[in-house]
């Protein structure tokens, strides 16, 4: 049984592997040293979908009537009075579908990540240390895709996954890895940060089913490295942009964040129909009510911290952040729990 999972300690331990112990001579050397540490961490501690998850363990069996699938208030559906008023069996059914839906969208997003990274790396120069770590990340993401899909299969909910427009635009979105890598890496963060926030919140509040918890444990642990890489890559590459490209990037940054956040966090129309969520309830959950708007802002604390470090969230651009509904106080440190972010 998975008990006493300390998500904060796990993430802090993994992220400490990426911190420098002595200041290198310049920013490029520091960046290269970070990539080396990330690569070594991926070699030292990594997970395999069909080795590190005991799928056939009795405690991992999925009972359709298990109350551990009831969504808690850290999930935006679980927090809504409509869901809380439903009979227990419906809450369980919707909860199983919700976990399957998040996993299905997550694996589709990671397929996009892999395709875009391959488009980006085909232009990589010999000796580029980012090539090695990016390939480690791709390897890890293939295992995430496998474990997410296996989890969906075992949950027994035929989750709809991402909206149809996302699948249609998949080839165009993945091509951004070649024609504008900075925007593509922004898109990576736009998908990784919200799902990471949701999974950490669930684990901090006791978790769910043992199989779901194990999947989230693995994903949180390895995403700590992936998110660190995306943050540091952007910090390293942004100074190379000219003023026009930098201004365009600053304007697109919050838009990409919000659009791809909705792909990850807001169930597609088909998924909402499958769960039986009324339109009026869906509008309140995503993101028109005061509690849901606060949740949306909380998910982007780390992103606001990054944007401030990149100097792309000045007074003019902050208006765009507010328009997107994701402005607010930046995190004081990476992965700061939202309960500290009042």
What is the band of 8 on the pLDDT scale with cuts at 50, 70, 90? low
210-235 pLDDT, tens per residue? 999 999 999 999 999 999 999 999 99
> What pLDDT, on the 0 to 100 scale, is given for residue 157?
94
* Burial of residue 304 (number of CB atoms within 10 Å: 0-12, 13-18, 19+): buried
* pLDDT score recorded for residue 5: 47
Indicate the Cα dihedral angle 25, 28, 34, 36, nearest 10°.
Answer: -100
Q: CA 196, 197, 203: angle at the middle one, nearest 5?
A: 85
Q: What is the mean pLDDT of the chain?
A: 91
Q: How far is CA 68 from the centre of its chain?
A: 23
Q: What is the CATH number of domain 7-340?
A: 1.10.620.20
Which residues, 6 or more positions from 56, have their beta carbon under 8 angstroms from its beta carbon? none
Report pLDDT for 25. Answer: 53
Q: What is the pTM of this model?
A: 0.88
Mean pLDDT over residues 42-68, rounded?
96
Examine the pLDDT at 117 and tell me if it is beyond 70. yes
Q: C-alpha angle with apex 243: 26 to 127, nearest 5 degrees?
A: 40
In the chain, what percentage of residues exceed pLDDT 70? 91
Give the model's confidence band at 336: pLDDT under 50 very low, under 70 low, under 90 confident, else very high: confident
**Lookup: tokens for 2:** 């998975």
pLDDT higher than threshold 70 for residue 42: yes
**Can you give the pLDDT at residue 338?**
63
- Res. 268: pLDDT tops 80: yes
Model confidence at 29: pLDDT above 70: yes
Give the mean model confidence (pLDDT) for residues 190-205: 91
pLDDT at 289 over 50: yes
What pLDDT digit, counting tens, does each position of 120-162 carry?
A: 999 999 999 999 999 999 999 999 999 999 999 999 999 999 9
Instruction: Give the tens place of pLDDT for each residue, 230-256.
Output: 999 999 999 999 999 999 999 999 999
């Amino acid at each position: 049984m998975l008990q006493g999972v300390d998500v904060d300690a796990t993430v802090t331990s993994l992220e400490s592997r990426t911190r420098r112990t002595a200041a290198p001579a310049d920013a490029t050397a520091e960046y290269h040293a970070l990539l080396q540490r990330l690569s070594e961490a991926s070699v030292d501690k990594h997970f395999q979908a069909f080795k590190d998850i005991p799928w056939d363990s009795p405690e991992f069996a999925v009972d359709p009537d298990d109350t551990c699938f009831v969504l808690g208030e850290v999930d935006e559906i679980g927090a809504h009075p409509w869901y809380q008023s439903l009979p227990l069996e419906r809450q369980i059914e919707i909860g199983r579908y919700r976990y399957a839906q998040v996993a299905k969208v997550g694996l589709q997003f990671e397929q996009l990540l892999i395709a875009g990274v391959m488009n980006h790396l085909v232009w990589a120069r010999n000796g580029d240390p980012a090539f090695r770590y990016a390939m480690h990340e791709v390897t890890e993401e293939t295992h995430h895709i496998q474990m997410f899909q296996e989890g969906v299969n075992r949950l027994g909910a035929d989750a709809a996954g991402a909206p149809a427009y996302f699948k249609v635009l998949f080839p165009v979105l993945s091509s951004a890895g070649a024609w504008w890598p900075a925007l593509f890496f922004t898109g990576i963060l736009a998908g990784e940060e919200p799902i990471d926030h949701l999974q950490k919140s669930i684990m901090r509040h006791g978790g769910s089913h043992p199989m779901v918890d194990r999947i989230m444990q693995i994903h949180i642990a390895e995403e700590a490295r992936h998110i660190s890489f995306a943050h540091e890559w952007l910090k390293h590459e942004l100074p190379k942009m000219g003023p026009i490209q930098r201004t365009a990037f600053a304007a697109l940054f919050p838009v990409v964040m919000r659009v791809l956040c909705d792909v990850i966090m807001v169930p597609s129309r088909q998924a909402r129909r499958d769960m039986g969520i009324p339109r009026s309830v869906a509008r309140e959950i995503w993101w028109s009510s005061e509690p849901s708007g606060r949740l949306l802002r909380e998910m982007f604390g780390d992103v606001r911290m990054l944007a401030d470090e990149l100097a792309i969230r000045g007074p003019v651009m902050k208006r765009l952040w507010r328009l997107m509904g994701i402005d607010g106080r930046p995190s004081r440190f990476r992965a700061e729990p939202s309960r500290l972010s009042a």
